[in-house]
Structures are given as C-alpha cells and as structure tokens.
Structure 1
Amino acid sequence: MIIVFGLVALAVVAVLYWYLWRRLVRDTTAGPGRARRAGTALFVVGPLLMFAALFAEVGHAPFALQRTLAWPGFLWMVLSLYLLLAVVAGEVLRPLLHRALKRPERGAGLYAMCGYRRAGAPSPHEAQPSPQPEAPLRQLTRTETEDPTPTPTPTPAPSRRLFVSRVVGGAAATAAVTTVGLGTYGVLRGPRVKRVTVPLARLPRAAHGYRIAVVSDIHLGPILGRGFAQRVVDTVNATQPDLIAVVGDLVDGSVKDLGPAAAPLAQLSARHGAYFVTGNHEYFSGAAQWVEEVRRLGLHPLENARTELAHFDLAGVNDIAGESTGQGPDFDRALAGRDPARACVLLAHQPVQIHEAVRHHVDLQLSGHTHGGQLWPGNFIAAAANPTVAGLDRYGDTQLYVSRGAGAWGPPTRVGAPSDITVIELASKRA
C-alpha cells in the first residue's frame, strides 16, 4: 500500500508540474528555441532538487549535503506552490483577455502597453499629416534631412493566444516570486514579539503581571542555524521575562550536527529560569540526546514533570510522538497530587493535548506545533487537525494559547502566518 500510495502521489506531482510547464513555458514561447529549452530545464532540475532535499533530511544524509540541497530544494517547493495557485487563478483571466483583444480599440491598447504593434495598426511614432498652407519649395540642407534620433520600431505583435499566455504567465510568475520573497524575508529577519494578557482565577494577587516568554518551533536545521538562534535569544531576552517556556520543535537534526547552532540558548535569561518540553521533531532527531543538551545549556527539561514556583505550578509533558518509543505524555505523573487551590500552567507542544489538560483542571496550556499554518492556505489544513491554530482560546475552565512559532519547517518561508515570540502576562482576578 505504501508503494501504491507513493506511485499515485508521484503521478499527481508529475501532472501538476506538466501543467505548470505547459502554461509557463510551452504556451509562452513561440516555438522550440533557447527560451523553451531553459524553461524546460528549470522544470526538470527544480523538482529533482526538491525531492533530493526532502530525502536528504528524512534519510539523515550527511549534514553538509543537507545544507547544500536545502536552500534551492525547499525554496523551489514553496515557489511551485504559489506558481500553481497563481496560474490556476490566471485561468479566470484568460477568457477575459481574449474577449478584450477581440475589440480593436481595447486590443490595440493592450498590445501597446506591452510594447507590441498589431499588424495594420499605425505606429504611435508615425506623425499624422495635418493641413498646412503651401510654402515655396526650397532645397533642404544635409543637416535638416538627417534625423539624429532614429525612431524605435515596435516589436511585431504575437498571436492573440501567445500574447494572453505571456501576460497571464508573467503576472503569475511575478506574484509567486514576490510572495515567496517577502515570506522568506519575514522568517530570516526573526520573529516579532506579541503580547497577550491571560487572566487566571486561581492566580494570587502577588503574581499579577507575571510574564512568560513563549518560544516554539524554532526548527534549527540545514537552513536556520546559529545566527537565527542568536536572533531568537536576543529577542526573548529583550522582553525581560520572568520565565521562558520553550515548547518544542527546537531542532531538525542531531546534537552532533546542530549542537553549535543551539549554543546561543545558553544565553537565555529570565528571573525564574528557562524551561523546555519536547516536540514531535525532537523524536525524529534524538530526543534523549537533546534533552541532555538543553539541560547542559541551562534550560530545565520538564519530562512529564512539575515544579512548584512561588505563586503557581509549572508542569510539562512530553510530545505525543514520544509514544512510539515509550516516552509519550503522562499527565497523571505530571499533574497528580498537586494542590488544587494553586493555579497551574502546562507546557505541551501540540494543541490537541488540551483535552487531557481540561480533565486535569489545568488553568492555562501553552503550545505551538501548528505554525499558524505557515503557508496560506495551509491554515485551513492546520485548522482541520488542531482545536486551535493560533492565539488564545478557552475549553471549559482551561485556556489554551498557541504560538505560531519562531522559525519554519521545510521552506524558510511564511505566508499569512508571521512568526512570533509571545509574552504572556498573567493577570490575577483578585487584583
């Protein structure tokens, strides 16, 4: 079944790329030539790099090879997505442009805007004769007969079908490249700080205004490395939080490959320390080794454990992905036996863990995992798989806050889901 599914998926991808090649290469070129050969090569090499980057990361290829393939492969992946969306949207414009070109006055204007001249249409540079009074003939000098600035000749117009394909294809490519460029810049510049106030009924007055910096989904890996980790750390420290919560998906790789990239985490600074729980990607990367590494860097791992702070309990559970190795979440171990009069804040990577949190009377769960969808329209898929995609929500007496995350997985690009580091300010209803 796995082989059959893989072959079907490969066939679907092949058909989609054929469609993109047809619309963006074949339909926009007049015939076989250098432009068509270059476009065809791009639509062959791009998918090969994409699959190579995916297989290199999933197959734990040598890290140097992963880094070499990641940038072109994953950027082509996201560019393909938005090329497809833009080309599909362009199908709506095609009949409208064809209809406009059938009207002589509109067609001539559209061709002229693109620098073309339709057959039989007067050149805009040709002067129209105007009636002038007759004057005596005289012999013109050589200077008067020579034009020092020759008039440019407009390019002959292509066929209507070719013209429409070039306009729609050019618009689609421009929209896709701009979208990917802005989305990639948004990730590489680092996450922005978001501030949210969360009132808790059981929080004592003395803890009113307590600030927790929530960091999730940094995804250090072949693309986002030490420099990105340093930007995240600097942003977190600038908020001067009372406590830092790193809620999973810190890395996409082994301690051996990414230990130096994670080193800046040792600089995290908060009055009551920094705490860490695993995400699903830690279990793809050697969770036990990473737990020890973050402990060495000064963070406090909460592996199905709880610590009693001055004014509330802070608990953490392992991610669901740990169940495959017997290291899954254990809410009873983390939460049983605590004082029910004290407020409890739970760190759990995936929002779907909220149902267990409600059952154990947790006041607030802090999660990540969804990336807010990361790439529109991925937010609709994320909404189907998670109770909350991003932001603050309430489930009974338990509140859930989901961060969009600081980094990105796969393509270093976000569209419609900007990265964030959230400062949660706890508010006491007794204040």
Structure 2
Amino acid sequence: MPTVSEHIDVPLAPAPPPRMGRFLALDMLFEGGRMFVGATSVLYLLSRGFQLQDIATLKSVQAAVVLVGEFPTGLVADVVGRRLSLALALLLGGAGFLLFFACDTWVWFCIAECLTALSLCFWSGCYEAYAIDSSGLASSPQHLDRFFYLNQTCNSVAVMAFGFAGGLIAAHGVGLPYLGAALTFGAAMAWLVFVLPRDVHDSRVAAEHTPLRVHLRNAFADGILRPAVLPLFLASLLVQLVIQPILHYWQPLFQELDPSVETTALGTTFIAYAGASAVFGSVYAAIAKRAWVRSASFMLTLFMSFSVLYMLVGQMRAWLPALVVFCLLQGSLASVRSFLSARINERITSSSRASVLSSLSLFSRIGMMGALAIIHWQLSGRDGERLSVVNLYNLFSTVSIGLCLLMVIFLLVVKNDKKRT
C-alpha cells in the first residue's frame, strides 16, 4: 500500500483532437463565396459593356492592391486581432460583390475590385493564424497536417459546389452570382460572430503592448530570416514559380493535346481535378499524424512525384489519359502545398503568426508575377512564331525536376555534415 508521499505513475489520457470543423466551415464559406462568380465573371463584365482590355486592367488593379496590402493587413491582424481582421475581410468582400451587382460605371467597378482585393489581403494568413491558435492546433503540432489537408479537401468541395451553383443561377441573370457571393459572405460573418470562439491572441497582445516596430521586426526574424523556416519559404517560392502554367493555361493545354476536345469536356476536367484534390486531401488527412509524413524525405518524394507528373501531362496525346495524369498532378500539388503550410506553421511563433504568413505570401506573389512574366515572354515567341503551350509545360516541368535534384543534393550535404559532427 503506497503512502501519500510516494509517487504513483498514472498514464495520462491523450489530449482530445482540436475542434477544427467550425473553422473549416468558415473558410469554405469564404472560398465558396468567391467562387460563386468564378464561372461567369468575365461574361458578366462583357455584358456590362466592358472590353477584354478593360477586364485586364481591372485584374491589374486587383494584383496591385494585393501586392501592396498583403503584408500590412497581416501586421494589423497580429496587432489588432485576427477575428476583427476576418470580419473586415468579410465586410469588404461583401461590399465589393454588392457593388459589382448594383453599379455600372468604370469607377465603381474599380472600387469594387479594390474592395474584394483588400478582402483577400485581410483573409490571407489571418485565417490560418486564427484557426491554429484559437482551435488549439498551436499546442498540437501533430494535428497540423490533418488540418491543412482537410482544409484543402473542404475548399475543393466548396469550389465545385458554389461554382456549379453560380453557373445555374447565372442562367436566370448573369449578375445574380455576385448577389449570391455577397449573401454567402454575410452568412460567413454570422458564423464568425455567433459560432466561432473569441480570438485567444487578443488578450495576449493587449497584455504585452508590443510596439508596432517590434511586430514588424519579428515578422521577418521569425519568418523568412529564421533558419528553420527559410528552406520551407524557398520551397514555397519555387512552387509558386513553377505552377503558374498549371493554374492559368490548362484549358489551352488540353485543346492543344487533343484538338477534338469540346468545351463541355473542359468543364468535366475542372470538376475532375477539383475532386481529385479533395480525395488526395481526405486520404492524406487520415495518415497525417504519423511521424514519417512530416519528414524531409517525404517532402522530397512529394516534390519528385509532382515534377514527374508535370512532365508526363505534356506527353499525352488524347483527352482521357491527359485527364488522368492531370488529376494526379493536381492531387500531388495540393499535397505539396498543404505539407509546406503545415511545416511552416510548426516553426513560427503564435505572437507574429499572421504577419509571418502574410510576408511569406507577399514574396510568393512576387515569384508568381515573375513566372507569369516569363510565360508571357515565352508565349510571345521569337520571329513571330508562338511557343506551344505543351512546350511551356515541358519548360516549367524541367525546371521543377531540376529543383528536385538540387533538393536531393542539399539534403545529402546536410546529412553528411551531421554525421561529421
């Protein structure tokens, strides 16, 4: 019979998994609201008397606002509060979609584009920071992979569902999807206010009274310049560099691979690869707790699989085999991006999480813009001859494979250095 002074070892019950569903639902409403107009936005602007060059100008305005506002909005989230920043994102986005629906002049459309761009800036980085800290994921890093892969799966489902609904509604009025997007953002606001918990970061910031310059310095010291984060940041930057043809030029790729492909087949392709991303995410979420999933060798395997599939898709000469490879490519891409997000969030501090994520996103967008500049330069051709989209895919996939080989060399060097020490 042990005395009261003796220590008795009692096995601790495992910590309950964080409650992620409420936060995933919020992001689904945000992404779904944006995708409400995804299938009809160009048609709507053309119906309001705009020309293609006018639409390009609007998108340039959006890109400029996002580039300028990305980092400051992340800083606001860390200084003022993540929940308030998400509310601003929903308010600005809803107002922007309402302006698109109700107005008909260039100035107001430009203002609407600025509002929706600012909405995206406030959401970027802030949502992840709020969800990770307020759900308990910050203290349960083994659940981070599951969160990001489930988030990818839910967003893919939302994109398919809301995009399809927007197309149906547009048959009764090409501007109605914008009204639907605004209402969806309103529903997301109600969910944020009445269902989701308070921002646990607010009280910590108020207690610390951290000066703004300190937050600014920490955003880089804890982020891009931190040795544990820098390799992951560079990997994210390189992913943004090589994936632009996949995001923006997959439709002309399929038309070039199989000239007989119809427009309806392209719609099927969109649904198929979004579904494949969801399947990959759900399968990976089931194994995300295992230690080998978070290893450097697994990251290299993901990158290599992505690069090989990238190369293969340009070698197909019929729609169906190209569709199969493209779906696998999209699934591997979703896995790579979720893996990097989980690893980065493991290695940054909660106090400056939104600022760090926004700064990473900012530089990733610069990489994206650089890749798009290369694409447009390549597609313009030389001596009046245009480069084919297939060759464009081959070019970027070759770069991707080369980057994988550099990663192998880097990992081998690090491994040898560790053995010597």
Structure with greater helix percent: 2
TM-score, scaled to structure 2: 0.23
Larger radius of gyration: 1
Structure with greater strand percent: 1
